[in-house]
Structure 1
Amino acid sequence: MEIIGGARLEVHIKPTDVGKRVSVRCLNDGGIGAEKFTDTVGVLTSWNDGVLLITRRTGESVRIVESSLVAGKVVPTRHPTTTPQGGASRHVTMAPARRRGPATSFDELARVTARGWQPVESETLGEWRLRASSGFTRRANSVLPLGDPGRPLDEALSYVRDWYAARELPAYIQTATGAEGGQELLCADLERRGWVREVSAQVWVGGLAPVGDLDADVDQVRLSRSYDDAWLRRYQRFGTPGPHVTAVLGSGPSVWFASVPAAGEAPAAIGRCVVDGRWAGFLAVEVDPAHRRRGLATAVMAALGRRALDEGASAAWLQVEDDNTSARALYDGMGFAAHHSYHHYRAPE
């Protein structure tokens, strides 16, 4: 069905567009002072019984009554502008050069980030990967779905819940939104089945050379292939540092640990970097609150970045939680930009 509105506003979307990225405008039914229209951009994840469900790049699902639509269209996935020799650019959307970052697909980046934080135990279910590490971080204790699980969704979810229950762990599925090849449809399917989104964050990417070129006192940063007890005391993301913690922290193709010594028992700042081909992933960058605003995080990033450049990497990635405004400001200043969002859905009790 195609609905034609009045004036210049037209609705050119229909139920067969489920799975596509759309932009819609609908009438508000708010009170006095409310805007007349609301615009929503995201993936159309369902259209049933006169109700549309659109999942934004942040993972938020928006419910829209069909009768409130006044405009709608399918929009293409955004790509960086490319200009053929002697011709005009083929795309109209273009970020400043500093913001383009390395070209990468969601699938490539998802696999790279997973190799930088590997679980103690894993099992494949079709193209899904079930991961467990005695509860140390959701990333190492959740399903990474990168395709078809090889069986109907409800059957796959039942298997997932049983697999984690056997390990006395809650069942989590890690999904991604906001990138071509993202999993908005899976997010909507999980929400319809009562799975709850608990944590959201973003994967940011950028060029590695600007990180290595940062003006920072890298001489104070110590780099090592392993970490010590002092490094773990600053990390503080676990209870007892058992073998599952050490296994995850030490996982990855080429792992480096950084620390800035301090007078106390724990370093003033720490960081971790995983070099994987052209990629360098930055994780566990933390600074003692008493030593903040002294450029220590920048120094840690620069030291690790230079080491990664020496190993042949050229692109960088990192993960930052949505509410970590200070880290987002820091990485924005280094030239990083968001590539996609990821979320952890927990199975209903």
Structure 2
Amino acid sequence: MDRSDVGRRVSVRRLAGFADDNRPVFRDAIGVLAAWDDDGLTVVPRAGDPVSFDERLLVAGKVVPLFPARRAPLPTADPAGLRRIAARGWPAVEQEPLGAWTLRASAGFTRRANSVLALGDPGRPLDEALAAVRAWYAARGLPARVEVGTPGSPEGLREELDRLGATYAPTLFRVAPLAGLARTGLPAALREVRLSRTAGPAWLSLYRRAGGGPAVEEAALRVVHGGPSVWFATVPGAGPGQPPLAVGRCVIDGPWAGFGAIEVAPHGRRAGLGTAVMAVLAARAAEEGASGAYLQVEAENTGAVALYDGLGFTTSHTYQYALLPQG
């Protein structure tokens, strides 16, 4: 094990001190090697705080296999509950309640972080609620979007949106047992994946939704790093300074792990890198106690839908992003 193994799962033994009889006391830790630099090593275990120590205290260390995820049924959650979990895993920069609804804005970075989570009762008639929605987004220079789906959204909302001339973009909410996902991937590709707690410049350089001006970039950083337990995966480029070949993101929230930002560079495709990224993220999520995976994909993205079919994902439900006309 050396510094090139940062981002891999390791087992380390360190000198923790000396007993009363002057015998050395050792401590072991298993987890992701999050850092190894002149300040020392940091290992993130499956639970608890990261373990940091001086390099001179390292007694032994080695790379170990991914966590062996155990097969388990999907956690119980209805469509409305899953949408709330997904909202926590991709939290908007600005959030404001409208009754039971949540207004979300993030300088236009992604529809999910710039739309109303329309679950439950907005606390006023629907026409008044949607008027308030349009005014709120107009004040921020953003289009008014409503995330609407059944069950969860109030009865009559779709009809009111139709009356206002909304257009719709259907999105599939897909789920799968986590263990099967963690056991996929070609061994050679799996060895190339590195994990981190932050999305650095290299990761962001491949994420196709990043960019768009300083305000959008700042919002993107806040959104992608938000959530209960967030991990980023990267397959480094072929040489120093080269852009990554693949990236991905996972957020762990109790028994559920949400996947997104899975991107593979054009010259890195057909090598199993996207699957490997998801498998390594899934193994880490399983290590933290998750047993179910979810993701959201545009219904028209047939290529991604086919890929996720092959990984065991099925559609839990469909929701719509309703775009209200300006004015």
Aligned pair partner of 2:204 in 232, 247, 252? 232
Match for 1:160: what amino acid? Answer: V
- The answer as to 2:160 corresponding to 1:192 is no
**SS in structure 2 opposite 1:307?**
helix
- The answer as to 2:173 corresponding to 1:203 is yes
The CA deviation string for residues 289-324 of structure 1, in whole angstroms up to 9 with x for no partner, is 221111001100100000000000011101111122
Match for 1:209: what amino acid? Answer: A
**Aligned partners of 1:281 and 1:181: how far apart in 2?**
20
**Aligned partners of 1:144 and 1:181: how far apart in 2?**
10
**Aligned partners of 1:204 and 1:101: how far apart in 2?**
12
Q: 1:336 to 1:102 in 2, by over 3 A?
A: farther
**Aligned partners of 1:323 and 1:285: how far apart in 2?**
17
- 1:168-187 correspondence runs (5 A): 168-177=141-150, 180-181=151-152, 185-187=156-158
Q: What does residue 341 of structure 1 align with?
A: 318
Q: What does residue 245 of structure 2 align with?
A: 268
- The answer as to 2:310 corresponding to 1:310 is no
Structure 2's unaligned 5+ residue stretches are 1-70
Q: What does residue 45 of structure 1 align with?
A: none
Q: What does residue 276 of structure 2 align with?
A: 299
Q: What does residue 137 of structure 1 align with?
A: 110
Q: CA deviation at 1:189?
A: 2.1
**Aligned partners of 1:170 and 1:204: how far apart in 2?**
26
Q: What does residue 257 of structure 1 align with?
A: 232
Q: 1:284 to 1:184 in 2, by over 3 A?
A: farther
Q: 1:332 to 1:184 in 2, by over 3 A?
A: farther
CA RMSD, Structure 1 to Structure 2 (Å): 1.8
Higher mean C-alpha displacement, 210-219 vs 245-254? 210-219
Q: What does residue 11 of structure 2 align with?
A: none
**Aligned partners of 1:315 and 1:183: how far apart in 2?**
27
Q: CA deviation at 1:326?
A: 2.1
The count of aligned residue pairs is 248
- 1:118-133 correspondence runs (5 A): 118-133=91-106
- The answer as to 2:189 corresponding to 1:212 is no
Aligned pair partner of 2:195 in 220, 223, 235? 223
Greater relative contact order (CA < 8 Å, ≥ 6 in sequence): 2
Q: What does residue 124 of structure 2 align with?
A: 151
**Aligned partners of 2:185 and 2:140: how far apart in 1?**
47
Runs of 4 or more consecutive aligned structure 1 residues displaced over 4 Å after TM superposition = 180-184
**Aligned partners of 2:267 and 2:138: how far apart in 1?**
41
Q: CA deviation at 1:327?
A: 1.6
**Aligned partners of 1:215 and 1:132: how far apart in 2?**
36
Match for 2:171: what amino acid? Answer: A
Q: CA deviation at 1:182?
A: 5.7
Q: What does residue 321 of structure 1 align with?
A: 298
1:271–1:286 contact (8 Å) kept in structure 2: yes
How does the TM-score come out when normalised to structure 2? 0.72
1:101–1:337 contact (8 Å) kept in structure 2: no
**SS in structure 2 opposite 1:329?**
helix
Structure 1's unaligned 5+ residue stretches are 1-97
Q: CA deviation at 1:193?
A: 2.0
- The answer as to 2:90 corresponding to 1:117 is yes
How does the TM-score come out when normalised to structure 1? 0.68
Q: 1:294 to 1:185 in 2, by over 3 A?
A: farther
Q: 1:101 to 1:277 in 2, by over 3 A?
A: closer
**Aligned partners of 1:240 and 1:265: how far apart in 2?**
24
Q: What does residue 68 of structure 1 align with?
A: none
